[in-house]
Amino acid sequence: MTQYLMAVHHSPDAPPPPPEEMQKAFRQVDKYNEELKTAGAWVFGGGLHSPEIATVVRVEDGEAIVTDGPFAETKEQLGGFWIIEAQDLDAALAWATKASAACMGPVEVRPFQDD
């Protein structure tokens, strides 16, 4: 089985959804997570805090440089992710379709590199 990263993207500039819509998404994602676990596809998953609280570490000339803020200035940021095991890309895309419906946002699918 291959492991895939399914990344949820959102725009930090977009207004937050109403509380009832967020609660609906939370319930749907909880149900989806249980489905992944029951199917044996779950490896790990989680939501992330806002990119504004990110810390970036770079090593330049052997010295660590630590800065505040997200690594990239983009319109969309990573909001959460799942790591799943799936037979192939088609199976991973089927899980991603369910994930996108559950979290009500786009989900990017990428396989991990082979060892």
Q: CA-CA-CA-CA torsion for 42, 113, 89, 45, nearest 10 degrees?
A: 20
Q: How confident is the model at residue 75 (pLDDT cuts 50, 70, 90)?
A: low
pLDDT score for 5: 93
Q: Quick one: what percent of the chain has pLDDT higher than 70?
A: 93
Q: Determine the 3-state secondary structure of 20 from DSSP.
A: helix
Q: Determine the 3-state secondary structure of 55 from DSSP.
A: strand
Domain CATH code at residue 31: 3.30.70.1060
pLDDT score for 74: 65
Q: How confident is the model at residue 69 (pLDDT cuts 50, 70, 90)?
A: confident
Helix (H) or strand (E) holding 42, with range, is: strand 42-47
Host domain of residue 23: 2-111
Name the one residue in this structure whose structure tokens are 């725009």: 11
- Rounded Cα distance, 70 and 68, in Å: 7
- Rounded Cα distance, 114 and 81, in Å: 20
Give the model confidence (pLDDT) of 43-66 as tens digits: 999 988 887 888 889 999 999 999
pTM for the whole structure: 0.83
Domain count, the chain: 1
CB 72 within 8 A of CB 2: no
Tokens representing 93? 């895309």
